[in-house]
Structure 1
Amino acid sequence: MQTLIPFTQDLCLQYTNTREGETKLGQKLHCYDGKTPLADALTAAKNSGVRFVILGVGEDIGPRANLGRGGATDAFEATLSVWCNLQSNQFFSGESCLVLGQIATDDLQLESDATADVLRAQVDVLDKRVIEVATQIIQAGLEPIVIGGGHNNAYGLLMATKNATNKAVAAVNLDPHSDFRPREGRHSGNGFSYAAASGALGYYHVLGLHELKNSQQTLEQLSAFGGQWHSLQAIWVRQELSLESALNEIITNLNDSGLPVAIELDLDAISNMPSSASTAAGVPLLDALKYVNRIASKTNVSYLHLAEGAPSCHVAGSVAGQREVGQSISELIYAYIQGRSAQQSIG
């Protein structure tokens, strides 16, 4: 079974609308031909100046296995339709970025009437594919930027980071949900609890946790692990502390851990973002951009994961959802790249 569907140069150019007198990112991005062995292609990309690898996971079996909505299948395509058409200029040329492709998932996407147990078994298979590809990216000294699919894929990315670095991972997650549900079979709500049990998660902080969207059992499990959080209500509603103060505390704890860092972001943290569990009471996109940029610039980050974007869940329809998800994720990618570039220049 093919694990990876490559994003070739020809495909990239199909996404790119060229214009005389302008250079778009799609004309400068590195792509994967799918013929070269992946490890060799990643090594060659790094030798060519690539630092960031965009990887898609087009699936919604994880959210459905968590008894949630589907739709998190098309965020990668929505993003590339925007990302490829941004300007290549003095701020960012695109040449440090490889768009690798998508994890193959067509054989795992089951019918809507599939039972939770069957879907959870499929998530187990998907985990192995994510781990296989992401491990190779990190071992090559590159930073994955993973788009799409459910938040179940956090488990595979944490395991891959542990495999590649021989260290547990310090993760921070902007998310109304802690995703620390019981280990009842793999789904989008328990990626971090499975990672904790496996030894891949060494430190965990949830930013923007919604106080009434996490069961008492989940909160107790998170506390027993030593997980920490700043709630949505504490920062954005009651204003007991500022976002800036919360970020400074998180950055200190991540750095004190001495572990590689994972930046996780569930798109349903952002107000009215089309996602598997969209929310009216979320954080502004600009605050999400600040979160990504600050953590990226101040810590030893291994990857960025942008999960749960679901264009088809937009209230105005899929076309509007493609535009909003694509633009939002593209901005988050650029915020991350800016942050990592700043970290490199001061490090």
Structure 2
Amino acid sequence: MKHLRFLDSHQLRDHTFPRHGEKKFGEAVQLISKLEDLNSKDFRYVIVGIMEDIGVRANLGKPGCAQTFQYLLSPLCNIQVNRFLDASNIALGPVLDFKELMDEVRNLDQNRAADLQRLREVTAQIDESVSALMEAIAKAGKIPIVIGGGHNNSYGIIKGISQARKSDIDVLNIDPHADYRALEGRHSGNGFSYAREEGYLGRYAVFGMHESYNNQDILEKFRASADLYYLTYDELLTFSTEERDRLFKDALRWLGPGPIGLELDMDSITGFPVSALNASGFTMRQARTLVKTAAALASPYYFHLAEGAPALATNATEAELSAKAMVYLITDFIKSHQAEA
């Protein structure tokens, strides 16, 4: 599979700092060294890195989310393995590393029509690798937790899992943007519209969408379809915490009783370096609660953390906090998901 690479034990040791009498995640997590390990090794969750920000550029956005997985490794490898977290049930890797394509398009200007078109063509190439890997993971009965890259990768994830299951899948997206833009060539703003157009996405709900950052065409499409639903962040401001939690559970019920795909765009959370900064969004505590609730109640097929960009941090402390925040969200998902299994 093109662009696929695997972590080895030496890389893991470089990111793990052992301490006598303790067990760190990097010492206990399983490693995948070949695709066949998906079927031959005994684990339930696989943490996958996607290293690209071409799809964000193809959406006229700000690059910076390509290195998220690398920023994540040290804080992830050094969390404690204890009665709250069984790392032996988790595998780390593989990684889809699109450095070759990133280098190819590095000097393209997204403000030039021809260059923008090329960025969108390359994003479609990325789709093929993402969907092939997700299909392999889903066929092996594993739960992918996908880190990094732009939200364009929602399309490849949904397509791959849909093909493995031979049916469309329903998805909940916690995001200021519906990412349901026109079918104008692939980019980070139309992963869900392409997935639905091609029959991979069934029902689709957006929770916490921002009224000022979604165009009228998107709103009309949601209004016209019984399979599309949103609740805006602006509306949620008028509700208490208890009412907001109830509305989130209502959105999960609207999607139906079966498992869903779970998406969280890091720009739904205020205060972290991301591809599109959010001046008014969920707190980290609120985001963790939403992830824990969805993981427990909806038995997701996958969890996708998109567009976090520690590389855009203004200092090292901010970058570290961003990476640690994503580690919390990953472990929240796993703990709540396996508790419900």
| The two structures share one fold, judged by TM-score above 0.5 | yes
Contact (CA 8 Å) 2:152, 2:190: kept in 1 or not?
yes
Match of 1:70 in 2: 63
Contact (CA 8 Å) 2:67, 2:148: kept in 1 or not?
yes
Match of 2:112 in 1: none
Equivalent positions of 1:82-161 (< 5 A) are 82-109=75-102, 110-114=105-109, 115-161=115-161
TM superposition shift of 1:321? 4.1
Contact (CA 8 Å) 2:52, 2:97: kept in 1 or not?
no
Match of 1:308 in 2: 307
Equivalent positions of 1:17-96 (< 5 A) are 17-33=17-33, 36=34, 38=35, 40-45=36-41, 48=42, 50-96=43-89
Alignment gaps of 5+ in structure 1: none
Question: For 2:101, what is the secondary structure of its paired residue?
Answer: coil
Determine if the alignment matches structure 1 residue 295 to structure 2 residue 294. yes
Q: Distance in 2 between matches of 1:325 and 1:55?
A: 18
TM superposition shift of 1:312? 2.1
Q: Distance in 2 between matches of 1:223 and 1:183?
A: 18
TM superposition shift of 1:78? 1.4
Structure 1 counterpart of 2:54, one-letter code: I
**Count of residues in correspondence between the two structures:** 332
Match of 2:181 in 1: 181
Structure 2 counterpart of 1:113, one-letter code: L
**1:256-304 Cα deviation digits (max 9, x unpaired):** 4x4x410000000000211100111110011111111111111131000
TM-score, normalised to structure 2's length? 0.94
Structure 1 counterpart of 2:11, one-letter code: L
Match of 1:230 in 2: 231
Q: Distance in 2 between matches of 1:329 and 1:343?
A: 21
Question: For 1:56, what is the secondary structure of its paired residue?
Answer: strand
Structure 2 counterpart of 1:158, one-letter code: I
Match of 1:322 in 2: 319
Question: For 2:213, what is the secondary structure of its paired residue?
Answer: coil
TM superposition shift of 1:112? 4.4
Question: For 1:192, what is the secondary structure of its paired residue?
Answer: helix
TM superposition shift of 1:142? 0.2
**1:196-221 Cα deviation digits (max 9, x unpaired):** 10111100110000011000011112
Contact (CA 8 Å) 1:233, 1:239: kept in 2 or not?
no
Determine if the alignment matches structure 1 residue 247 to structure 2 residue 248. yes
Contact (CA 8 Å) 2:2, 2:129: kept in 1 or not?
no
Identity %: 34
Structure 1 counterpart of 2:321, one-letter code: E
TM-score, normalised to structure 1's length? 0.92
Q: Distance in 1 between matches of 2:146 and 2:232?
A: 25
Determine if the alignment matches structure 1 residue 271 to structure 2 residue 267. no
TM superposition shift of 1:169? 0.8
Match of 2:219 in 1: 219
- Pick closer, same or farther for the CA change 1:222–1:107 going to 2, 3 Å: farther
**1:89-112 Cα deviation digits (max 9, x unpaired):** 111131111012211201111214
Q: Distance in 1 between matches of 2:319 and 2:45?
A: 23
TM superposition shift of 1:159? 0.3
242-251 or 289-298: which moved more? 242-251
Q: Distance in 2 between matches of 1:220 and 1:176?
A: 17
Match of 2:329 in 1: 332
Contact (CA 8 Å) 1:12, 1:31: kept in 2 or not?
no
Question: For 1:276, what is the secondary structure of its paired residue?
Answer: coil
**1:26-71 Cα deviation digits (max 9, x unpaired):** 00000122xx4x1x210122xx2x1100001111111110001000
RMSD across aligned positions (CA): 1.4
